[in-house]
Amino acid sequence: MSVPFAKHLQAGDRQPESGLTIIESLVAIIMVAIVGAMITPPIVIAVATRLQNQRAQQAYQIAQGELDRVRGLVNNGRHEPAALPAAVGNAPLANQGPPTGAINQIQSIDPDCNTYNGAPLPANRALPIDITGNCEPDFVMQVFRNNGVVSDREQGGLDRPISFAMAVRVYAVLDNPIPWGGMETEEAGLRFTSGDGNQSTRPLAVITTQVNWSDTRDSLCEFHSAAGGCDG
């Protein structure tokens, strides 16, 4: 066997070098980019929707907590007008406008941050609420009631209403400063979203309920009386 022929055989036994060409690499990068672009929007929507639902749940817990607090006052007979939410007449509560500002106190889970003294809020003012303990408001709450019905036995005394309707609206604090001039009263719609939607101006929780005091013997009569009295 000649030397040139042997070299030719050795060259033929070598495996060709494997690897991606530049074009194949570019195609792979493009495919990864396309797949990433297709996956990212659903992920963003899922995360934003989950945060929206979490905020709504927290807002309803705040609203329900305020309703329970007022019911506790009523059940214990400690519901003189000065201890109740501000009255706005006997027009439908839905007619009451949104808050136009916040009081200069905050209710916080951190005692060192909490400055709220428990005083009733003006109907057009909101209470900042901190649920994370960082001394910054996460929500603001507006609460008010109608005049309701005062029992004949209460008139001239403590004037505690035996029945009234109250409303609570809880807004999420998403913008700084809060857009007070653009606040609305219609509850924010929960839907798939990639952002905050209308949650910065509409309440996440709106609860309206009737509160009745049943600890006086004429409460039922007063509640059902068209003229608002039973003793006459």
Tell me whether strands 107-108 and 125-130 are parallel, antiparallel or unpaired.
Answer: parallel
> Is residue 14 domain-resident?
no
Hey, what are 93's tokens?
């509560």
> Is residue 114 domain-resident?
yes
**Domain span at residue 143?**
28-224
0.75 surpassed by pTM: no
- Reported as a single tens digit per residue, the pLDDT across 147-170 is 999 877 787 788 899 899 999 999
> Is residue 13 domain-resident?
no
Contact 99, 126 (CB under 8 A): yes
Q: Where are the alpha helices (DSSP H) in the chain?
A: 3-13, 22-75, 219-224
Q: How many other CB atoms are found less than 10 A from the CB of residue 104?
A: 8
Question: Which range, of 51-55, 96-100, 169-173, averages the lowest pLDDT?
Answer: 51-55
* Whether residue 137 has pLDDT greater than 90: yes
> Is residue 44 domain-resident?
yes
> Is residue 7 domain-resident?
no
Count up the domains in the chain and report the number: 1
- Bridge partners of 207? 168
> Is residue 195 domain-resident?
yes
> Is residue 20 domain-resident?
no
Cα–Cα distance between 33 and 27 in angstroms, integer? 10
